[in-house]
């Protein structure tokens, strides 16, 4: 408790020393910066750290990485963050080794599950909260490790356990390039169709593309078509970053990783580049290799909108610019324009609900401090008086929202606040 209290003070002091040019946004930044650390993160007996997603007690691997990612860039200013972030990484890696097809885990082997009657190809571990296969869940610890290494230069995180977990992740990805040969399935009865896989739990038909099959979107809703393009591009990105860091004697691992990267690249070029309603070429959200493509974007990261933030594409790439213009228009079925709020929502929440995560991501991929700050102000003005970043917010009435405490959204706001500070310094504004 003393450790957390001291770190919370250090984080608030950092926010005070780097004020934003808007009182409401600054107040939120100062309040929310310690959010994930103080409220969601708990030290485990083995020295690792469990990160709850918020008002749901489980740890989603994807959420956990994005919850702590803003802290990585603060390690130089607040060195005591480093062992905690390393502990989060080790906990994520341990969960992947436990079940690479699960997306969310319990703090203890309590046997708690989102739905105890879910059916899959193996029994639910008492440590598993939910067993929805999502590519981004396996990318999450790799993304965290890459960012930690880039910030600290400490290669000790790439130990035997890391590479053993990486090999398991790679093997799983290779298996799901050939999903028709995979034993994995997921069925949930008496639920919305977007919460279970069709075709007796196997998902809709697909053809081989070289891409990795994905059961569920980052929203935890099922993929309509089996190849989720943002997740595949995130996988390609993290694998590419790790290639030069692999042990020198792991030549076969290097060869397999490079083969997968190449297959994803070729699959995206052949299947994911589609003609948008504007007539320009852009990226589809999902494809199936059978000629079908879903032109849309969803608020959850990885999304098409978030690709430059994830390092998967340049923000000024014409393919991305055309895709972004489509995403941020009413031609994207999940883009909503309202009296108080406009932005991308999700099938996961009611229609007309905009996600603060997506609004923050608009800021994170913007190129000027003014654009970034405008998104911070918008979020701060639409919390429904709570000072919290919710999951989804009704576009005309911010008093209507989903999830009282959603730590991932809070920390993405902080990620943008830190980015605003860096951009303002770059532009000589302070």
CB 267 within 8 A of CB 209: yes
- Residue 4 forms part of a structural domain: no
Give the pLDDT of residue 2.
62
Q: What is the pLDDT of residue 430?
A: 66
Question: Would the pTM of this model clear 0.85, i.e. be above it?
Answer: yes
Q: Classify residue 248 by its DSSP letter.
A: T
Q: Identify whether 16 is part of a domain.
A: no
What are the phi and psi torsion angles at 41 (to 5°)?
A: -105, 130
Say how many domains are in the chain: 2
Is 24 part of a structural domain of the chain? no
In a domain, 273, yes or no: yes
Q: Do 220 and 328 fall into the same domain?
A: yes
Classified as helix, coil or strand, 218 is coil
Instruction: Give the containing element (helix H, strand E) for 227.
Output: strand 227-228
Q: Are 117 and 98 contained in the same domain?
A: yes
Q: Which of 333, 362, 395 corresponds to the end of one domain?
A: 333
Residue 7 token pair: 């770190």
Q: Nearest 5 degrees, angle CA 209-CA 213-CA 214?
A: 145
| End-to-end alpha carbon distance in the chain | 35
| 412 is a domain residue | yes
Whether 250 is in a domain gets the answer: yes
* Average pLDDT of adjacent 10-residue blocks, the chain of 430 residues: 84 96 96 95 97 94 98 97 98 98 98 96 96 98 98 97 98 98 97 96 98 98 98 98 96 98 98 97 98 98 98 98 98 97 97 98 96 97 96 98 95 98 87
Q: Does any domain span residue 377?
A: yes
* Domain assignment of residue 198, given as a range: 34-333
Q: Are residues 302 and 373 both part of a single domain?
A: no
**Secondary structure class of 29 (helix, strand, coil):** helix
Q: Which has the closest alpha carbon to 136: 168, 173, 163, 107? A: 173
Q: What is the distance between the alpha carbons of residues 79 and 281, in angstroms, rounded to a whole number?
A: 45
Torsion angle of the four alpha carbons 374, 376, 382, 385, in this order, in degrees rounded to the nearest 10: -130
* Domain match, 346 and 251 both: no
262 plus 399 within the same structural domain:
no
Whether 78 and 211 share a structural domain: yes
| Domain co-membership, 395 together with 325 | no
Nearest to 309 by CA among 353, 354, 372: 372
Q: Are residues 125 and 231 in the same domain?
A: yes
Taking alpha carbons only, the member of 268, 368, 286, 283 closest to residue 321 is 283
- From the list 249, 258, 237, 230, the residue with the least C-alpha distance to 311 is 237
Domain boundary among 333, 351, 384: 333
What is the spatial distance between Cα 64 and Cα 52, in angstroms, rounded to a whole number?
7
Q: Are residues 320 and 338 in the same domain?
A: no
Give the C-alpha distances (Å, rounded to integers) separating 266 from 230, 236, 402: 15, 11, 39
Question: Is residue 344 a part of any domain in this protein?
Answer: yes
The CATH number of the domain where 107 resides is what?
1.50.10.10
Residue ending a domain, choose from 333, 348, 369: 333
Same-domain status, 266 and 234: yes
Helix 81-98 vs helix 160-176: angle between axes, to the nearest 10 degrees? 50
On whether both 339 and 329 belong to a single domain, the answer is: no
Residue 65: name the closest of 99, 26, 91, 42 by CA.
91
The string of DSSP codes covering 166-210 is HHHHHHHHHHHTTGGG----EE-SSS-GGGS-HHHHT-S-----S
Q: Are residues 309 and 342 in the same domain?
A: no
Nearest partner of 304 among 321, 286, 285, 322, judged by Cα: 285
């Amino acid at each position: 408790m003393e450790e957390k209290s001291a770190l919370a003070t250090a984080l608030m002091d950092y926010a005070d020393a780097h004020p934003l040019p808007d009182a409401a946004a600054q107040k939120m930044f100062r309040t929310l910066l310690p959010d994930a650390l103080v409220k969601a993160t708990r030290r485990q007996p083995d020295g690792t750290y469990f990160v709850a997603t918020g008002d749901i007690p489980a740890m989603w691997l994807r959420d956990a990485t994005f919850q702590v990612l803003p802290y990585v860039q603060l390690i130089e200013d607040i060195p005591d963050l480093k062992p905690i972030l390393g502990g989060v990484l080790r906990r994520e890696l341990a969960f992947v080794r436990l079940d690479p097809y699960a997306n969310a885990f319990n703090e203890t082997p309590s046997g708690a599950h989102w739905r105890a009657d879910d059916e899959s190809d193996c029994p639910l571990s008492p440590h598993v909260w939910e067993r929805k296969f999502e590519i981004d869940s396996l990318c999450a610890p790799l993304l965290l490790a890459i960012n930690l290494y880039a910030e600290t230069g400490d290669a000790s995180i790439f130990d035997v356990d890391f590479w053993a977990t990486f090999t398991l992740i790679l093997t799983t990805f290779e298996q799901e390039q050939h999903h028709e040969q995979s034993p994995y399935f997921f069925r949930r009865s008496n639920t919305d169709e977007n919460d279970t896989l069709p075709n007796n739990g196997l998902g809709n038909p697909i053809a081989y593309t070289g891409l990795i099959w994905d059961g569920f979107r980052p929203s935890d809703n099922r993929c309509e078509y089996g190849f989720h393009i943002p997740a595949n591009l995130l996988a390609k990105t993290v694998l590419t970053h790790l290639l030069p860091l692999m042990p020198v004697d792991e030549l076969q691992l290097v060869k397999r990783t490079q083969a997968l990267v190449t297959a994803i690249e070729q699959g995206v070029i052949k299947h994911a580049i589609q003609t948008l309603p504007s007539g320009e070429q852009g990226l589809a959200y999902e494809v199936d290799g059978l000629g079908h493509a879903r032109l849309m974007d969803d608020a959850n990261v990885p999304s098409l909108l978030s690709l430059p933030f994830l390092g998967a594409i340049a923000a000024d790439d014409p393919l991305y610019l055309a895709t972004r213009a489509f995403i941020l228009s009413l031609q994207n079925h999940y883009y909503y324009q309202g009296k108080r709020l406009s932005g991308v929502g999700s099938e996961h929440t009611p229609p007309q609900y905009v996600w603060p995560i997506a609004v923050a991501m608009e800021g994170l991929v913007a190129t000027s401090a003014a654009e970034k700050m405008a998104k911070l102000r918008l979020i701060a003005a639409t919390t429904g008086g709570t000072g919290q970043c919710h999951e989804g917010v009704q576009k005309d009435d911010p008093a209507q929202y989903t999830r009282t405490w959603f730590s991932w959204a809070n920390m993405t706001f902080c990620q943008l606040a830190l980015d605003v500070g860096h951009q303002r310094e770059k532009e000589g504004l302070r």
